[in-house]
Amino acid sequence: MRSGIARNISTFLWGLVLCVCTMRQSARAQIGEICGPHIDIRNDISEFKKLENCTVVEGYLQILLIGDKNHNLYQEFRMLSFPKLTMVTDYLLLFRVAGLDSLSTLFPNLSVIRGRNLFYNYALVIFEMTSLKDIGLYNLRNITRGAVRIEKNPDLCYLDPVDWSLIMDAEFNNYIAGNKLSKECGDVCPGIMEDNPQCIWTSFNDHYSYRCWTSSHCQKACPPKCEGQACTDSGECCHPQCLGSCTEAGNDMACAACQHYSHEGRCVPDCPPGTYRFEGWRCITKEVCAQVHLPSEVDFVIHDGECMPDCPPGFTRNESQSMFCSACDGLCDKFCETKTIDSVDAAQSLQGCTVIKGNLHINIRRGNNIASELENFMGLIQTVTGYVRIKHSHTLGSLTFLKSLRYINGEELLDDMYAFSALDNQHLQHLWDWNQHNLTIRAGKLFFRSNPKLCMSEIRKMWEKTSVSKKMEEDDVRNNGERASCESHILKFKYNNTQSTRIKLTWERYRPPDYRDLISFIVYYKEAPFQNITEFDGQDGCGSSWTMVDVDLPSEKFKDPGILLQPLKPWTQYAIFVKAITLVVEDKHTLGAKSEVVYIRTKASEPSMPRDARAYTNSSSSLMVKWSPPISPNGNSTFYLLRWQQQPEDRELYQHNYCSKELKIPIRISASALSEIEEDTKPTKSDMFGDEKGQCCSCPKSNQAMKEVAEERVFSKAFENFLHNSVFTP
């Protein structure tokens, strides 16, 4: 994804509009200047001048790619501070900034990151900051939306002492990894060394600790009496409309940020009449909204009490009053020009398009598992006014990613004859499911050549279903299906037996005209939450979302073939079909067989453990217990069984001298934290091995654990690609 592509609202020409907005009322003087849209600071420390006098960054704040050429950036950063900045409305991203060892001086009063638009689902990203030693955002009280990703910062400490649940609701989606090991940090909160702890004591991720950002700044939390509202530094409760913090208790004009909207320096639950919501946090007039433009000089619109860059889905700009929206009759059209799709990036430019004014060329020679990506970006296309050409697209197994295509008008024809052409697509096996898909070709005819896995039956179906008036000629459909087993027989399942982790299946015997042509069967299966799967869903030339199992022919000719599928997930619906594999001989058309897709649900089983159990005391005689549901419920959960037991006080905790920096409070180490235990504490091999001793080998990971590790690596790779594309691609 490119940084130039609008992240919902990307680059607006704010200019004078914001100055007018910020200087209109005297109340704005205490707020200062609203800077935006978005601030990108890169390459040189002098770029920080963009933040002078900023109280709010309306959009994202990116600080990245600043190298330490003269080895004096440490001192320059310590002299740099922006105490007026209290809020970022989108996200804060820090990436490869040398010399910056803490944000405590840079942004001492940053209180709220709203996360209106996120960076790959994250509101705070700190990535590959080689100099950063602590985060230091000691006034950060609220991350309204989105999670945190802090990764690959080799010198970064003071991560364990931060209780993210005090700041955000999505703390379980945080990703914090690849930073300095906790055991190498020795994080010490204020007052610990003097035996006078000053910071709050909470539990986060089953770890009780004092909470702080640095050795001199505690993490702030509001007292229970505020009931989730913001509070002052001294613990007094703010006005209910305040967010983050405030300078005066109960005053809706003393808020660091607003829970809902800011109007004339006051926090309000909604914008008053005559004003409109803007950017999710403030109220502006119609006149101000009219002066805000997109880069194309297109005006913003007013709809449903909000000033926004364009009309929402289902609405279009009013022809007589372009600042307002009118409801569409059905899906609103979005027009796009002729496009050649040779990659997923090219397909992304068609996201949201419903009409291609011109021709659609698809020529995707390479790519892995791209069918779902193409559907995401091209799945709304309904009409192509010219022709559609699919050429040398060896990764495509079907055309179902064009799931909404209804009309090919043929206003322009390929070679003055063809409205649809498919040439040399080595893995194309399926066009559309004609029981569910309607396509009309209003002019022109079809051309299919050198598609070795596409059966003539598929081509004939398209000819019949698309209302092509001209007769199919031999020159239009040559060299198709010669490497395919074009099925004409439907296999019937005869028996299935289901348990919680396995399914046993048998199907009818199949005998082609020459039994020697039958090689084996392949059973295809995958999880299917909904019964809307076709054989070709998730398939392309480089991969498939189906799991495939080879089944040999029965040893006895008259025995029904079958298979036991295992291990499967309990209480999970699977889509299953079976295909006969037959010998393909040149110049000989071989009949094949396959079943229809059937759906079978495994039986229920015991659920996995509930996650993230945590308890809070809200009185002297009760506890508030919360938990997250199990990852694998393995059925319909109807109730939870809660057990508790009173435990004796651990007197040993009172016998240690915690003034010693090296002495840490004993904590219970969960299984997931065992990797941080010192190497020399690992057990050694048993004496049964004689004199040979050494460390025990770790047990091999389960298939599920290995799958989770693989998924995490894939996700990390996708995030890093997204980051690099956003930062480096113009």
Paired tokens of 519: 């090689």
> CA nearest 42: which of 74, 65, 25?
65
pLDDT at 216: 93
The pLDDT mean for the chain works out to 82
> CA nearest 453: which of 576, 541, 544, 523?
541
Superfamily of domain 340-480: Receptor L-domain (3.80.20.20)
Question: b/e per residue, 241-250, with b = 16+ CB within 10 A?
Answer: bbbbbbeebe
Lowest mean pLDDT among 77-91, 433-447, 691-705: 691-705
pLDDT at 587: 46
Superfamily of domain 486-601: Immunoglobulins (2.60.40.10)
Contact yes or no for 326/315 (Cβ under 8 A) = yes
Residue 638 burial by CB count (10 A; 0-12/13-18/19+): exposed, middle or buried? exposed
pLDDT at 539: 61
Cα 264 vs. chain centroid, distance in angstroms? Answer: 37
Q: pLDDT tens digits for 644-679?
A: 877 666 555 555 555 554 445 444 333 333 333 333
Count of Cβ atoms closer than 10 Å to residue 512 Cβ:
18
pLDDT at 542 over 60: no
pLDDT at 557: 75
pLDDT at 4: 40
- Mean pLDDT score, 419-438: 91
- Mean pLDDT score, 105-131: 93
- Mean pLDDT score, 595-616: 88
Q: What are phi and psi of 265, to 5 degrees?
A: 80, 0
Lowest mean pLDDT among 275-289, 657-671, 693-707: 657-671
Quote the Cα angle for 656-660-665, to 5°.
50
pLDDT at 3 over 60: no
Q: pLDDT tens digits for 430-439?
A: 899 898 899 9
pLDDT at 171 over 80: yes
Q: So where are the chain's domains?
A: 32-221, 242-327, 340-480, 486-601, 678-730
> CA nearest 574: which of 602, 594, 539?
602
pLDDT at 260 over 60: yes
pLDDT at 325 over 80: yes
Paired tokens of 60: 């994202």
CATH 1.20.120.1760 fits 32-221, yes or no: no
Asked whether the bond before 37 is cis by omega within 30 degrees of 0, the reply is yes
Domain 242-327 fold is: 2.10.220
Neighbouring-strand partners of residue 112 = 87, 142
Question: b/e per residue, 284-309, with b = 16+ CB within 10 A?
Answer: bbeebbbbbbbeeeebbbbbeebbbb
Same fold, 32-221 and 242-327: no
What pTM, to 2 d.p., does this model score?
0.56
Contact yes or no for 553/520 (Cβ under 8 A) = yes
Lowest mean pLDDT among 218-227, 272-281, 473-482, 598-607: 473-482
239 pLDDT band, cuts 50/70/90, is very high
Asked whether the bond before 240 is cis by omega within 30 degrees of 0, the reply is no
pLDDT at 452: 87
Cα 621 vs. chain centroid, distance in angstroms? Answer: 42
Rounded to whole angstroms, how far apart are CA atoms 501 and 664?
Answer: 45
Contact yes or no for 85/113 (Cβ under 8 A) = no
Contact yes or no for 676/217 (Cβ under 8 A) = no
